[in-house]
Amino acid sequence: MFSFDNVIDDITGNGIFQILLVLFVSCISCPNCFTITASVFIGGMPDSRCRIEPYDNSTIFPNATNDQITKMFIPINELTKKPDRCLKYLYNVTCSDTQDPTCLFGNNDTNNVKTMVNCDAEYIFDRSLFQETIVTEWDLVCDKMTSSFASSSLFYLGVLFASLYGGFVSDRIGRMTVYRASTILALVVGVSISFSPNIQTYTALRLIMALVYFPCVVSGFVYVIEISPKRWRTLVGMVFNSIFGLGSMVFSLLAITWRDWRALQLAKTIIGFGPFVLLSWFIPESPRLQFAKNKWRQARRTCEMMAKRNKTVLSDDIWRKTEEHFAE
């Protein structure tokens, strides 16, 4: 009984061309990792506290250190045992003598129990690890913290829908058509994200990114399986998914190099998608899909080209028997 697997086995030859195709197409798992794990760095949430005016103004109080201000004005959170992110002690803004608790806290300091209030202005962030993230730029802490969580949730909702329709679309219009279109759109949307003026725009663009990009991952995985001989498929599937781990290492290096979220977003988009936008035009369509859609001439031309690159020749007898089997 003949199937298209016989044709794939016949054109594999030394297999060099298919190995190159598998490696290149599988490398889409690198920008996949960049996109999935972006929120770890771009949405990083460093330690923060309420801004205490005027004591955080270095022009007015040049000698006031962060530790001094934190110890004096920020209560300790009972759960984390760290300075609270969202509360501060109520104090007298007009007090000029910071060494006098009576002047500074007035009647709010009773038996060493100070009145605590919510932050009412900006926040001070620890920038030793992250130079700038969406959290530090848009103050996504305390009552605004849900905006950051909602952004991630909507992104993964987009991933879910993209995974559902991605396979259907690639069956209809072609693996490589979806692969090229997705990488081009991902490049455009990714660059746009780096110029987001607010969290609402950022969230919307991240959702669009998930919807337009993840069909590429689905079609890419199916593609490398379809062009591989049956004996390779387990290994090919492992290679495709293992490259995600390589992407984690590469993205960590990018995050160390660019610690501002806008620069990191731009860098990961160009480095991640740029090569695929350029080189995907040289990747042939899946001959198995062409054959399944009754485009037998196109499928044969693709198979002959792949056989030539693998230093072998497509057998006319195997092709004829495969056609006869599917024509029945």
**Residues 70-127 pLDDT 10s:** 888 888 888 888 888 888 887 766 665 555 555 555 555 555 567 788 888 788 888 8
Rounded CA separation 40/138 (Å): 16
- pLDDT at residue 102, rounded to an integer: 56
Min mean pLDDT across 67-81, 138-152, 223-237 is at 67-81
Residue 75 domain boundaries? 48-126
User: Is residue 139 assigned to a domain?
Assistant: no
Rounded CA separation 321/327 (Å): 10
* 207 and 301 both lie in a single domain: yes
Domain count, the chain: 2
pLDDT at 129 over 90: no
Cβ atoms of 48 and 85 within 8 Å: the answer is yes
User: Is residue 131 assigned to a domain?
Assistant: no
DSSP 78: T
Output the domain CATH number for residue 152.
1.20.1250.20
* 159 and 95 both lie in a single domain: no
Min mean pLDDT across 107-111, 201-205, 292-296, 307-311 is at 107-111
- pLDDT at residue 211, rounded to an integer: 94
DSSP one-letter string for 103-123: HHHGGGEETTEE-EEE--S-E
Handedness of CA 166, 170, 172, 173 (dihedral sign): positive
- pLDDT at residue 280, rounded to an integer: 85
- Higher-pLDDT residue of 37 and 98 is 37
* 37 and 53 both lie in a single domain: no
- pLDDT at residue 185, rounded to an integer: 94
Strands 109-110 and 123-125: unpaired
Percent of the chain with pLDDT over 90: 34
Residues with Cβ within 8 Å of 73's Cβ and at least 6 positions away in sequence, in order, are: 50, 52, 55, 88, 89, 91
pLDDT at 315 over 90: no
* 38 and 179 both lie in a single domain: yes
* 74 and 106 both lie in a single domain: yes
- pLDDT at residue 113, rounded to an integer: 65
* 77 and 150 both lie in a single domain: no
User: Is residue 209 assigned to a domain?
Assistant: yes
pLDDT at 63 over 80: no
Q: How far is CA 42 from the centre of its chain?
A: 9
Average pLDDT, the chain: 86
User: Is residue 38 assigned to a domain?
Assistant: yes
